[in-house]
């Protein structure tokens, strides 16, 4: 069971009487006629934040948070700087930078009550964001369970706990369905994560690695040592990859995904050793959508699960 992500303190008052009720996230005393509500949040960094009411002016630095806010029925006053937005209603929202590079001037201009950032990338930006009058709430997503916690946390922030639980239940039901249909012999897969000039193997403790395992793939990089600065990824080893002989190769890019993907495919073509692995022989090298796999998909994680499931089902069909 997910831990409650927040506590709501409901306060009511009149000329001669004042009462307060403390309840777990999403529960409200039906006898209380509240005129004010303080929202207390503990974010993924263990930081406590308080709001006098559920905030309505929210800005997000990642598409994962954007997707989740809109899935819960909320809106943003500032969105990540990106050429692709999956939520049409958010296309016209002003852009405020990314988790890697925030636009503090734009944030100050928009005056959001809270800016949604990444733990740990935006820990260094907390003081700057607070200096312009906003609070920063940090989330993270290295697994589907993290995304469920993220949905629950944002549901509490927006006073949309019922909708958050509905989304989580739908996700749990889909995962149970996927796992009940998995074959005993799970196909071997290599998941390549690329940023300009850098290529890494995604480990099971990354969001893409976790999604692949939930769908029923065996991650050949599971035993690779993690990188110190990127513990969800490992260095690519051509020798180990050839030895493991993956049946699928999945490629996802970050930053400029088209350029990253083209660069890796060129490297594969230049190395004759890659031509011998099953994934290449059987034409099972797939470029994954960057907005679903190159970063946290947030509430769109169901689409990511279904994308990999469709690939596995197609190959398994007679």
Could you read off the pLDDT of 24-63 as tens digits, one per residue?
333 333 333 333 568 999 999 999 999 999 999 999 999 9
Rounded to two decimals, the pTM is: 0.83
Could you read off the pLDDT of 92-137 as tens digits, one per residue?
999 999 999 999 999 999 999 999 999 999 999 999 999 999 999 9
3.20.20.10, 3.40.50.1980, 3.90.1150.10, 3.30.413.10: CATH of 6-173? 3.40.50.1980
Residues of the chain with CATH 3.40.50.1980: 6-173, 183-316
pLDDT score recorded for residue 31: 30
| Residue 91, CA distances (Å) to 83, 85, 87, 296 in order | 9, 6, 7, 19
pLDDT confidence bin for 14, thresholds 50/70/90: very low
Average pLDDT over residues 203-220: 94
Is 3 a residue whose pLDDT tops 50?
A: no
Average pLDDT over residues 243-258: 84
SS3 250: strand
Pairing label, strands 114-118, 36-42:
unpaired
- Average pLDDT, whole number, for the chain? 84
Backbone angles phi, psi at 144, to 5 degrees: -65, -35
- The alpha-helical segments, DSSP class H, found in the chain are 63-71, 104-110, 126-131, 144-157, 161-180, 207-215, 238-244, 257-270, 278-281, 301-316
pLDDT score recorded for residue 179: 86
What percentage of the chain reaches a pLDDT higher than 70?
85
pLDDT score recorded for residue 272: 81
pLDDT confidence bin for 194, thresholds 50/70/90: confident
Could you read off the pLDDT of 138-157 as tens digits, one per residue?
999 999 999 999 999 999 99
What percentage of the chain reaches a pLDDT higher than 90?
64
Domain 183-316: which topology? Rossmann fold (3.40.50)
Handedness of CA 55, 57, 60, 64 (dihedral sign): positive
Is 252 a residue whose pLDDT tops 70?
A: yes
């Amino acid at each position: 069971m997910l831990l409650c992500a927040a506590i709501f303190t409901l306060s009511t008052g009149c000329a001669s009487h004042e009462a307060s009720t403390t309840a777990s996230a999403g529960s409200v005393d039906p006898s209380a006629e509240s005129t004010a509500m303080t929202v207390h949040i503990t974010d993924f960094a263990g930081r406590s934040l308080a709001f006098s009411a559920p905030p309505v002016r929210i800005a997000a630095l990642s598409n994962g948070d954007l997707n989740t806010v809109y899935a819960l029925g909320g809106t943003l006053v500032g969105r990540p700087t990106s050429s692709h937005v999956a939520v049409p209603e958010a296309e016209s929202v002003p852009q405020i930078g990314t988790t890697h590079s925030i636009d503090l001037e734009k944030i100050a201009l928009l005056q959001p009550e809270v800016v949604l950032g990444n733990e740990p990338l935006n820990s260094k930006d907390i003081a700057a964001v607070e200096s312009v009058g906003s609070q920063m709430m940090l989330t993270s997503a290295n697994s589907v369970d993290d995304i469920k916690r993220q949905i629950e946390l944002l549901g509490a922030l927006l006073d949309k706990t019922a909708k958050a639980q509905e989304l989580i239940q739908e996700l749990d039901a889909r995962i149970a369905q996927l796992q009940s249909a998995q074959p005993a012999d799970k196909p071997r897969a290599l998941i390549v994560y690329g940023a300009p000039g850098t290529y890494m193997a995604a480990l099971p403790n990354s969001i893409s690695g976790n999604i692949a395992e939930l769908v029923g793939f065996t991650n050949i990089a599971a035993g690779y040592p993690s990188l110190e600065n990127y513990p969800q990824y490992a260095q690519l080893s051509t020798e180990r990859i050839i030895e493991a002989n993956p049946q699928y190769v999945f490629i996802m890019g970050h930053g400029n995904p088209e350029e990253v993907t083209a660069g890796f495919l060129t490297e594969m073509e230049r190395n004759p050793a890659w031509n011998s692995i099953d994934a290449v022989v059987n034409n099972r090298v797939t470029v994954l959508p960057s907005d679903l796999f190159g970063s946290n998909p947030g509430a769109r994680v169901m689409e990511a699960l279904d994308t990999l499931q469709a690939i596995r089902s197609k190959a398994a069909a007679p």
